[in-house]
Amino acid sequence: MNRWSAAVAIGMPWAMMWVAHAPAYILFPGDGSDEPGFVPPVVGQPPPPPPARMSSGESYIPYPPPPVVPQARSEKKNPPNPPIMFVKIRSDKGMLDWATRPDDLNNLLREMKNMMDVHLACEVKSLEEISEDPERNPILFRSGHFRIRHTPAERARLRKYLLAGGMIIYDAAAGSKPFYDSAIEELRTIFPEVPIQRLGPDHSIFHAYYDLDRVEYRSGVREAGYTESTPWLDAVTINCRVVAVVSRWGLGIGWDGNTDDSLRAYTVDSARKLGVNLMAYATAQRAWARQLAQSLQFVDVEPTSAGKISVAQVVYDGEWKTRHKALSVLLQQFHQRTGVPVKFAVKELRLSDPTLFDSPLLYMTGHEDFRLSPQEVQNLREYLRRGGFLFAEACCGRVAFDQAFRREMRRVWPEAALAAIPTTDVIFQMPNRIESVGVTPALSQPMKSSRIPPRLEGIQVDGHWAVVYSPFGLAGGWELSPNPYAWAYDEAGSLAIGINVLMAALTQ
C-alpha cells in the first residue's frame, strides 16, 4: 500500500495528506495509472468549516412554545437547510479516487450565491445511496484521475435516475485520460442504444446562462495537443435532453480556484461559467422531463403495411434518433386529418441498405455534425433520382446538424442547392393552409415574434420536391413537448407542417 492509500485507509486528515505530487503508484489494480495520458492527483486543501451564521429573526423565540430564557439576536441559530443541487459521488477506493478537490462544489455554489444570491448545497453519497427521484439529488458529480467501473446494479440505478430527469457530470480531473476513457465506456454500457457525441458549440448547455461557444484553457491543455478554443463536453442525449456529460478537461480544478497554468484544465473563470451553465440547463430540463414522460406513442394493431403510408428513418453514424415517439404521433395526426391509412412502425435503415429503394419516404434528423460515407452519398443520390422522397429536420433547430446536412446534400446533389420553398407552393396548402406558424419562446427571441411564416427548403428533381428540409425543429412539437431551449415550431405549427409534407410525399 502506498502512502496515499494508506493515509486514506486510516482516515488521515487532509492537511496531513498534502503533498505536491506522488511518484508512480497504484491505487488499485487496473486503475489506469500506467496508461498514456494519466495525470497524477493534484490534491486540494480541505474545505473550511461552515461559517457560524446569524439569523435576522426576532430577539425572542415566538410563541408557541414560550421560551423560558430569551434568545438574544446575537446568539447562533440554525437557519433552514438550503436545497441540494449537487451530489458528489464517492467510491469505495478512498478519497484519493473521488475527492482530490474537496472544496470544488462548495466553491462553485458559493460563486452562484455571490452572483445571483441563490443559496444551494451539496452532499456526498455513493451510487447505491442516491435516490432514483431526481428532485432529491438533481445533479450527480463524479470526478477523478483513475479509471472508474460501476457495478451492474449501479448502472441500472443510474440509468433509471437519468431517464427520470436526472443528470450526471463526469469530470476528468486535470484532464486525466484513463478517467475520461472509462467514463465514456461506462456510458456506452449504460446506454448502448444511444451514441455518445461531443456537443457542438451551439448546444444550449453552452448558452444556458453565459455564451460560451469559446472558452479559455490553461497552457497544460495546449501542451497535451488540444489547440481549439471550443469547450469539450461529450454527452448522452435522450429525447433532446442531455442526461450525462463527460468533461475531457478539468472542471473541478477551476471550481476549486487552483490557478496552476500547467494543469490540463479550463481556466478558473471558464470553469465556473461552465458550471453555472450546467446547473441552469439541468434545472430547466428536469422540469421539462416530467412533462415529456407523458407523451403518447401509437402502435399498429395489425402488422401488415399493405395500403398504408410508411416511413423509414435514416440511420447514420451519430445521433440519428432524437425523439422516440414523434413519428408515431405525426402519423396518427396525419391519419386523423386525411383518413389515409398509416403504418405506425417505423423502419430504421442505413442509406447503404439495399432495401432503401423499397421505401418511398425517408425521414432524417439529428442535433450534431455527421458525415455520410461515399456509398451512402451515392445510394441517396440514386434513391432521389428514382423518385424517392427525403424529409429532414434539424431537431431543436441545432446549427451543427443544419450545417452538416447542407454540406452532405451538396455532395449528394451538387447540381442544385437547398432553396426556400415559396409559401404559395402546394406544400403549404394541402391539407392545411399554412400562412404563419407559432414558434417556441427560444426561437421567438431572435425572430422578434411568436409567429412567423413557415420556413421549409427543398431540392427539386424532375419537377417535384425530392428533398424537403426544415431548419427549425419539428419532432418536439409532434410529441407535444418542444424542448425549452429549442429553436422550433410550436405543437400546432409542427403538426400542420408535418402533415402537409407527408401529403406532398404521398401525392407527388
Q: Is the peptide bond before 354 cis (omega within 30 degrees of 0)?
A: no
Query: Distance (Å, rounded) from C-alpha 176 to C-alpha 170?
Result: 12
pLDDT at site 112: 80
Instruction: Name which residue leads in pLDDT, 427 or 72.
Output: 427
Task: Summarize the confidence of residues 253-267 as an average pLDDT.
Answer: 95
Map 153-217 to HEC letters: HHHHHHHHHHHCCCEEEEEEHHHCHHHHHHHHHHHHHHCCCCCEEECCCCCHHHHCCCCCCCCCE
pLDDT at site 487: 96
Select the CATH number that applies to the domain covering 312-507 from these four: 3.30.1490.20, 3.40.50.1000, 3.40.50.12140, 1.10.760.10.
3.40.50.12140
Average pLDDT taken over every residue of the chain: 86
Sheet containing strand 196-198, edge to edge, reads 121-125, 84-89, 139-144, 167-172, 241-247, 233-238, 196-198
Cell of 53: 451564521
pLDDT at site 53: 42
**pLDDT for 439-470, tens place per residue?**
999 999 999 999 999 999 999 999 999 999 99
Percent of the chain with pLDDT over 70: 84
Q: How confident is the model at residue 283 (pLDDT cuts 50, 70, 90)?
A: confident
Whether residue 199 contacts residue 276, with contact meaning beta carbons closer than 8 Å, is answered with: no
Given a cut of 80, whether residue 311 has pLDDT beyond it is yes
Q: How confident is the model at residue 218 (pLDDT cuts 50, 70, 90)?
A: very high
Angle at 163 between CA 162 and CA 169, to 5 degrees: 20
Query: Distance (Å, rounded) from C-alpha 462 to C-alpha 70?
Result: 90
CATH superfamily to which 3-46+84-291 belongs = Domain of unknown function DUF4159 (3.40.50.12140)
Q: What is the pTM of this model?
A: 0.82
Residue with the three cell numbers 420536391: 465
Domain boundaries, the chain: 3-46+84-291, 312-507
Given a cut of 80, whether residue 321 has pLDDT beyond it is yes
User: Which residues does 205 contact at the CB level (< 8 Å), separation at least 6?
Assistant: 199, 233, 235, 242, 245, 277, 278, 281
Radius of gyration, alpha carbons of the chain: 27
Cell of 421: 420553398
| 3-46+84-291 and 312-507: identical CATH topology | yes
**pLDDT for 330-384, tens place per residue?**
999 999 999 888 888 889 999 999 999 999 999 999 999 999 999 999 999 999 9
Task: Summarize the confidence of residues 277-285 as an average pLDDT.
Answer: 90
Sign of CA pseudo-dihedral 105, 273, 251, 134: positive
pLDDT at site 397: 96
**pLDDT for 242-253, tens place per residue?**
999 999 999 999
**pLDDT for 64-73, tens place per residue?**
333 343 444 4
pLDDT at site 270: 97
**For residue 429, how many other CB atoms are within 10 A of its CB?**
15
Given a cut of 90, whether residue 410 has pLDDT beyond it is yes
Whether residue 457 contacts residue 418, with contact meaning beta carbons closer than 8 Å, is answered with: yes
